Each structure stands twice: as structure tokens, then as C-alpha cells.
Structure 1
């Protein structure tokens, strides 16, 4: 796994992705990306650097709680 591309994810989450079955990792990673992409869509119109910083902060705050309760995964993906 190339950790360089996970600079904005908590280590526990990345370790989880490396440990679980590929399908589980794919779903969890897609939920992570979905949360970031949804935030970026909500924040359109901001300065791009500010937009990224805001969304990275939001996603990191959420994923620092890893492991997430299973009900939270659906929320993260929306």
C-alpha cells in the first residue's frame, strides 16, 4: 500500500484498510472519498485552498473516531 496517498487520513483508518478484505476496504475507502467529495461540492465558491482545508478538516475530524459504528458508515458515504 502506498501510504503517501493517504496523507490526510488517520493512521488507524489506513491500517484498517490494509487489514480487512479488499471488498470491505474498497467500500470503506469509497465512503471516505464520498464524504470528502460531498464536502467539496457543498463548499463550491470558496477559495480552492480554503475549500480543501475545510473539507480535509471535516473528514479528518470524522475519521479520527475510527473505528466508526456501522451506522455511521452510511452517513459518511452520503
Structure 2
């Protein structure tokens, strides 16, 4: 999945696959998480959010299941 860099103290990059509705986040520590069944509107809202980390903590983490793709380095 192709990711775009984000200006955040916690998230290095993020990507979204509309076909599978998966949101992928790479943290600054190198961990990669894939959130499942995320609507496209959440991806758009994340990109537009003034604080990407806050958006993930308030809107993504509590609502969508995830799996760890790569552990932190």
C-alpha cells in the first residue's frame, strides 16, 4: 500500500486502499498498523485534520479493528 507522509509527532505516514477499506499507519518508531473496514470518509477526514494523531486517537482507534503489520524497530 502506498503511503503519504504526514506532519505529526506520532504518525510518519498513512495510506488507504479503497478496495479493501484498509487504513495503514506507520508510526515514527517504525511500527505499521492496518485498520480494517475504514470508510473512505475517515481517510479524507484524517488527511484534513489539524492534528493527525489526535484524529486517530479519537476517531480511528476506538471504532475500527486493526492488526500489527510491522513491529517498532
TM-score using structure 2 length:
0.36
The structure carrying a bigger helix percent of its residues is 1
TM-score using structure 1 length:
0.34
Bigger RCO of structures 1 and 2 (CA < 8 A, at least 6 apart): 1
The structure carrying a bigger strand percent of its residues is 2
